[in-house]
């Protein structure tokens, strides 16, 4: 995690870096720092806290002038968040300065070696070790900065995206990547460096994404040279045209990114099926599936790997794939899968789901599956991300940038893509009739409008949130397709409001969680009319007789649950299979309003970061 930004060119670097860091705060926000070359010397300002704290601090500490600079927003790994551990870090001589996203795993042995050679360390970080290693190599080998970075990185075990410069040669910035993302924006005689393209989107649409094990030397007036870190071979830069625009990464009148992203779901879902769902022709067109149809049809099973919310989307997909396409599916936490010696064969298809496309465990699971010969398909949101590049084929969710740490539109668009895939495969396998296929296309096409309708309960949900905001625990129950939605609802609540919440399959309640129920326990029950309705009604009665407070998510016009529940939130009628796309909306709003009422930092909840690029 951590966000890094850099600039080299004719403009003032400071405002570009600060604005860029604000856009990257989703990647980490426990400390921040900036280093500038002001024409004569290196100026560094850094602090525990957010970029706003850095702005206040740098106001007093530095002149803020200079057209070369680097900045960092941190999610702590080695060393607690404090001023000293904040980046940038400076080498012992005071000449070299670095920012780093990632983890140097062998930093302890490197540090001991450097200490034995007289180096001293102020911080507890692995990054300070790396910059001194670079300095040591530069001195010992009498090489230029670029070469020293390369030699040092060849001694390093771990993951990194780094930017380094030497105050004695400030017209040159060296960057490198392994396992952590790094993009370079190419302007007119100016370069922007960042963990993703958002910090430079208003300056240029031309970007180079460094691949793993690549480094680049960027020189003012002279351009960029990319090399392989291992063998020094030159790489031809591939310049991509960015599609993103500034409005997409701004709040657009909403109080929080999370709320904006919840409200963007009708559009995000439409964008995701546009051009793929062709209702009039009664076909689904997905290049990644068409080109690899045999792999899917001959697969013994599909293994889905993901983390967090994406894992919940995977669980929904398990129901959909098995139901429609009759292909056996297993869903695994990427972090468990990769460490447990799983049985994978060439007849397996692995689907990796990730909003960011940078989640380290998911990436590692992909590499493992590939090494065993499985075909790997990615479902990612971020174009050009590591997972998108590492997979054999894939389908993007066209959700647009998701900035709030709590995933919302990523979840519903992932389910949309996975539903399209399952429908397409079901058609190819003949496990769905043509009339049923058409009915599903029609209904899926109507989902955005139904999401829009579901959003109209916002004020009612806010009122319910006010009643329950001070409780210590919540239970979420759902069955079938909506069991993963119960898990997702509970995750949303805990991550942004810090209220303990658990999701359960409703029928499992009797096997333990029922002991928790008393008059103080709110229980959110997803009780739509289609999915095992009568059984859910019985579960609600069991809760009622133990005095639990029931918040029912029901189909419009529901009568039975309304009589039993303390509150109901209505959603429009849809197919059971598509219902997670609607039932999730009130749960997102409930967690949002509770967190706001509790005055929590909704977009940047404590201890979290948007993309988890460490293992």
Q: Which residues are designated catalytic?
A: 2, 610
**Residue 17 engages ligand M6R in binding (rule: CB under 6 A):** no
Among the listed ranges 148-156, 350-358, 434-442, 453-461, the one in contact with ligand M6R (CB under 6 A) is 350-358
Q: How many angstroms separate the Cα of 452 from the Cα of each of 203, 465, 526, 585, 586?
A: 34, 20, 19, 10, 11
Strands 549-555, 522-527: pairing is parallel
**Residue 258 engages ligand M6R in binding (rule: CB under 6 A):** no
Three-state SS for 194?
Answer: strand
Q: Which of 409, 359, 395 is nearest to 248 (CA)?
A: 409
Q: Per-residue x/- mask for ligand M6R, residues 280 to 309, rule CB under 6 A?
A: ---------------------------xxx
Helix or strand holding residue 552 (H, E): strand 549-555
Cis preceding linkage at 278, omega within 30 = no
Which residue lies nearest ligand M6R, judged by its C-beta? 308
Cβ atoms 186, 239 nearer than 8 A: yes
**Residue 611 engages ligand M6R in binding (rule: CB under 6 A):** yes
**Residue 548 engages ligand M6R in binding (rule: CB under 6 A):** no
Task: Give the chain's radius of gyration (CA, Å).
Answer: 26
**Residue 406 engages ligand M6R in binding (rule: CB under 6 A):** yes
Per-residue buried b or exposed e for 134-150, using 16+ beta carbons within 10 Å of the residue's own CB: bbbbbeeeeeebbbbbb
**Residue 574 engages ligand M6R in binding (rule: CB under 6 A):** no
Q: Per-residue x/- mask for ligand M6R, residues 365 to 404, rule CB under 6 A?
A: ----------------------------------------
The nearest distance, CB 592 to ligand M6R, in angstroms, is: 12
**Residue 310 engages ligand M6R in binding (rule: CB under 6 A):** yes
Per the listing, tokens 């004569």 go with 40
Write out the binding residues for ligand M6R, residues 579-608 only, by CB under 6 A: 608
Out of 47, 85, 391, 407, point to the residue binding ligand M6R (CB under 6 A). 407
For residue 361, how far is the Cα from the chain centroid?
A: 12
Cβ atoms 502, 513 nearer than 8 A: yes
Write out the binding residues for ligand M6R, residues 487-506 only, by CB under 6 A: 491, 495
Q: 146 is written with which tokens?
A: 């670029």
**Residue 150 engages ligand M6R in binding (rule: CB under 6 A):** no
Cβ atoms 405, 603 nearer than 8 A: yes
Out of 405, 526, 565, 577, point to the residue binding ligand M6R (CB under 6 A). 405
The nearest distance, CB 528 to ligand M6R, in angstroms, is: 23
Among the listed ranges 46-54, 235-243, 259-267, 351-359, the one in contact with ligand M6R (CB under 6 A) is 351-359
> Which residues of 13-78 form beta strands (DSSP E)?
31-37, 42-48, 68-74
**Residue 362 engages ligand M6R in binding (rule: CB under 6 A):** yes
* Residue 321: DSSP 8-state: I
Cβ atoms 317, 416 nearer than 8 A: no
The nearest distance, CB 140 to ligand M6R, in angstroms, is: 40
Out of 359, 397, 454, 591, point to the residue binding ligand M6R (CB under 6 A). 359
Number of alpha carbons in the 13 Å side-chain half-sphere of residue 407: 28
Return phi, psi of residue 273, to 5°.
-95, -10
The nearest distance, CB 55 to ligand M6R, in angstroms, is: 26
Give residues in contact with ligand M6R (CB under 6 A): 307-310, 354-356, 359, 362, 405-407, 491, 495, 608, 611-612
């Amino acid at each position: 995690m951590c966000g890094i930004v850099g600039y080299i060119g004719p403009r003032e670097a400071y405002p570009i870096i600060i604005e860029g860091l604000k856009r990257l705060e989703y990647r980490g926000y426990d400390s921040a720092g900036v280093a500038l070359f002001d024409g004569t010397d290196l100026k560094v300002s850094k602090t525990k806290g957010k970029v706003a704290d850095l702005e206040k601090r740098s106001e007093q500490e530095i002149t803020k002038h200079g057209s070369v600079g680097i900045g960092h927003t941190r999610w702590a790994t080695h060393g607690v968040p404090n001023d000293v551990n904040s980046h940038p870090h400076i080498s012992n001589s005071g000449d070299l300065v670095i920012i780093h996203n990632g983890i140097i795993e062998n930093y302890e042995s490197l540090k001991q070696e450097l200490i034995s050679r007289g180096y001293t360390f102020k911080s507890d970080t692995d990054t300070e070790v790396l910059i001194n290693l670079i300095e040591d190599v530069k001195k010992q080998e009498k090489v230029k900065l670029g070469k020293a970075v390369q030699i040092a990185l060849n001694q390093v075990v771990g993951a990194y995206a780094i930017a380094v410069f030497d105050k004695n040669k400030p017209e040159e910035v060296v960057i490198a990547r392994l396992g952590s993302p790094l993009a370079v924006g190419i302007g007119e005689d100016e370069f922007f460096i960042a963990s993703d393209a958002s910090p430079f989107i208003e300056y240029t649409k031309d970007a180079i994404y460094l691949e793993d094990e690549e480094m680049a030397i960027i020189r003012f007036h002279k351009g960029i040279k990319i090399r392989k870190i291992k063998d020094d071979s030159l790489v031809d830069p591939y310049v991509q045209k960015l599609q993103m625009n500034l409005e997409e990464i701004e709040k657009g009148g909403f109080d929080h990114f999370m709320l904006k992203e919840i409200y963007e779901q009708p559009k995000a879902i439409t964008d995701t099926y546009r051009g793929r769902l062709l209702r009039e022709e009664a076909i689904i067109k997905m290049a990644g599936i068409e080109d690899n149809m045999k792999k899917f049809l001959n697969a013994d099973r599909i293994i889905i790997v993901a983390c967090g919310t994406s894992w919940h989307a995977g669980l929904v997909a398990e129901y959909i794939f098995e139901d429609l396409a009759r292909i056996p599916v297993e869903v695994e936490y990427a972090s468990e899968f990769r460490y447990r010696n799983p049985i994978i064969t060439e007849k397996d298809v692995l689907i990796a789901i990730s909003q960011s496309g940078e989640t380290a465990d998911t990436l590692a699971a992909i590499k493992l599956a590939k090494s065993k010969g499985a075909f790997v398909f990615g479902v990612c949101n971020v174009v050009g991300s590591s997972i998108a590049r590492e997979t054999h084929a894939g389908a993007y969710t066209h959700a647009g940038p998701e900035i709030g740490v709590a995933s919302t539109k990523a979840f519903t668009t992932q389910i949309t893509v996975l539903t399209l895939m399952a429908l397409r495969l079901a058609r190819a396998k003949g496990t769905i009739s043509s009339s049923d296929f058409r009915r599903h296309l029609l209904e899926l096409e109507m989902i955005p409008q139904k999401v829009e309708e579901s959003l109209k309960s916002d004020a009612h949900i806010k009122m319910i949130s006010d009643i329950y905001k001070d409780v210590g625990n919540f239970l979420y129950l759902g069955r079938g397709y909506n069991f993963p939605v119960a898990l997702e609802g509970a995750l949303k609540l805990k991550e942004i409001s810090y209220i303990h919440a658990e999701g359960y399959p409703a029928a499992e309640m009797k096997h333990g969680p029922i002991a928790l129920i008393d008059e103080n326990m709110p229980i959110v029950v997803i009780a739509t009319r289609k999915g095992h309705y009568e059984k859910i009604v019985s579960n609600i009665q069991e809760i009622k007789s133990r005095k639990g407070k029931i918040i029912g998510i029901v189909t419009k016009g529901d009568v039975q649950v309304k009589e039993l529940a303390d509150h109901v939130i209505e959603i429009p009628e849809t197919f059971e299979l598509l219902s997670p796309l609607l039932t999730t909306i009130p749960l997102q709003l409930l967690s949002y309003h509770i967190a706001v009422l509790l005055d929590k930092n909704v977009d940047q909840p404590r201890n979290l970061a948007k993309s988890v690029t460490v293992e």
